[in-house]
Structure 1
Amino acid sequence: MTSTVPAPSTHPQARNSVRAGETPLAERSALQAVLLDMDGTLVDTEGFWWDAEVAVFADLGHVLDESWREVVVGGPMTRSAGYLIEATGADITLPEITVLLNDRFEARIDHGVPLMPGAARLLAELAAHSMPTALVSASHRRIIDRVLESLGPDKFTLTVAGDEVTRTKPHPDPYLHAAMRLGAAPVQCAVIEDTATGVAAAEAAGCRVVAVPSVAPIAPAFGRVVVGSLEEVDLAFLGTLITGMH
């Protein structure tokens, strides 16, 4: 799948640190890089975001409908917060609610975040094999840096935050940006995502996708495999996802 989009942002805060002794791309298998979402994929925080949204809007005098949760999950804060402002009629601006939500979420993860089953093992395996690995999230940089304290910043060659690209998920820009920075072809990148929004972004970039649904179901499709948890995913599995398409 191809997609014509504006050139990805080269925001100065985007992190990139290639590990010493890394095997050149040409000497590896068809899998050139692994790109992973954060919330709900590597860390069990999708519920934390919803709790933060419920609490912040409660402070403003509004009750959120549980059915809205599937609408806002996995997307950029501008979209989810904007939707909730419109749905509730809350008298607050988008910049104001963004600060409140980030503050509430950051307080919630103050003592660390729980990793999803299989996440630590998978990240350790990718690092042990010097596989270029990027964390690609719609969350803001301030949140990513806090979560990295639990995940281990050394596990990632590159991290991309939602406020570091011109257009974040569901647009392909974050994944195109990550692939470009890693020197990898998107079609030879495996992406691991937990929401339809993230899957749409990865597939629009031309990447192969492993979906690990968190809040809402995701159907299998061409170039996409759906699994129950990261316990089912390892480097060999990701490699077959790429080679199986050729």
Structure 2
Amino acid sequence: MTSLPFQAVLFDMDGTLVDTEPLWQRAEIAMMSNYGLPWSEADQAYCLGGSAVRVSRYMTDLIEASGQTAPAPEDLVESFMSDMLRQLRQHPPSPQPGVTALLEEVRRAELPTALVTSSTQPLMEAVLDAIGRQWFDVTVHSGSVQRHKPDPEPYLLAASLLSVDSSRSIAVEDSPTGAASATDAGCFVVAIQHMATIEQQPRREVVGDLL
């Protein structure tokens, strides 16, 4: 990796570094079941990589489309995030296969690193407690930015905090939403495809895993 012309590596969190997607899905199913509504694989794929605000608005639309009165999006977010945080504390996530080896390799290469997540700061902190904070020089969470993925702002901010050029940074992602954010920020993207289809594009390598 030291021979590559990159200045930094920027990591997504949910689904990329840790397998939290089943926890998200469980929380989303539970939330929608309160209104007698299903939560399909298509719903899950659409929201993959999105912020809590985006997911809550999507849920609100589904609830209202069913003829029911939906809660305010901010109330839904608070309830949803509380459930997710409880699950993370009860079931601390483990790194995805290949993640620890990759983080060690990046550290040996002395490349600066960032964690760039659409999750809230409390959720991010719970994951960092589980996998270790020593891997990341800076962090960007949903409260760090005004515009969330797929907007490029999270990755542009991460590059700025590291004092590197985003176009000379590698972003590791696992969702179309996150890959679009990193691509529009100018990063070279390594996209792990598992729950949703990610299109191959210039400056993007789609892989099955990190092994």
Provide TM-score, normalisation by structure 1: 0.79
**In the TM superposition, what whole-angstrom CA distance separates every residue of 1:113-169 from its partner, at most 9, and x where no partner exists?**
022110111112222332100000000101000000122101100110012101110
Gaps of 5+ in 2: none
Map 1:122-133; keep pairs closer than 5 Å. Answer: 122-133=102-113
1:108 paired residue among 84, 87, 102: 87
2:206 paired residue among 226, 233, 245: 226
1:92 paired residue among 59, 71, 76: 71
What one-letter code is carried by the residue in structure 1 that aligns with 2:183? E
Is 1:63 equivalent to 2:38 in the alignment? Answer: yes
Match of 2:157 in 1: 177
Partner Cα distance (2:34, 2:102) in 1: 39
> Post-superposition shift, 1:202?
0.4
Match of 1:38 in 2: 13
Partner Cα distance (1:32, 1:85) in 2: 41
Which sits farther off after the overlay, 184-193 or 90-99? 90-99
Contact kept in structure 2, 1:140 and 1:161, CA below 8 Å: yes
- For the residue of structure 1 that corresponds to 2:134, the secondary structure is helix
- Please report the RMSD computed on the Cα atoms of aligned residues, expressed in angstroms: 1.6
Partner Cα distance (2:76, 2:40) in 1: 18
Contact kept in structure 1, 2:15 and 2:21, CA below 8 Å: yes
Match of 1:80 in 2: 55
Partner Cα distance (2:197, 2:61) in 1: 26
> Post-superposition shift, 1:28?
8.3
Map 1:45-60; keep pairs closer than 5 Å. Answer: 45-60=20-35
Which sits farther off after the overlay, 129-138 or 58-67? 58-67
Match of 1:139 in 2: 119
2:166 paired residue among 186, 202, 227: 186
> Post-superposition shift, 1:29?
5.4
> Post-superposition shift, 1:65?
3.3
Contact kept in structure 2, 1:64 and 1:88, CA below 8 Å: no
**In the TM superposition, what whole-angstrom CA distance separates every residue of 1:9-61 from its partner, at most 9, and x where no partner exists?**
xxxxxxxxxxxxxxxxxx98521000010001000011211110111222344
Partner Cα distance (2:52, 2:14) in 1: 13
Q: How many aligned positions are there?
A: 205
Partner Cα distance (2:193, 2:208) in 1: 7
Contact kept in structure 2, 1:194 and 1:213, CA below 8 Å: yes
Partner Cα distance (1:66, 1:225) in 2: 25
- For the residue of structure 1 that corresponds to 2:196, the secondary structure is coil
Contact kept in structure 2, 1:134 and 1:156, CA below 8 Å: yes
Partner Cα distance (1:150, 1:124) in 2: 16
- For the residue of structure 2 that corresponds to 1:153, the secondary structure is coil
Partner Cα distance (1:195, 1:66) in 2: 14
What one-letter code is carried by the residue in structure 1 that aligns with 2:98? G
Contact kept in structure 1, 2:17 and 2:99, CA below 8 Å: yes
1:119 paired residue among 84, 96, 99: 99
Runs of 4+ in 1 over 6 A off after TM superposition: none
Provide TM-score, normalisation by structure 2: 0.92
Contact kept in structure 1, 2:194 and 2:208, CA below 8 Å: no
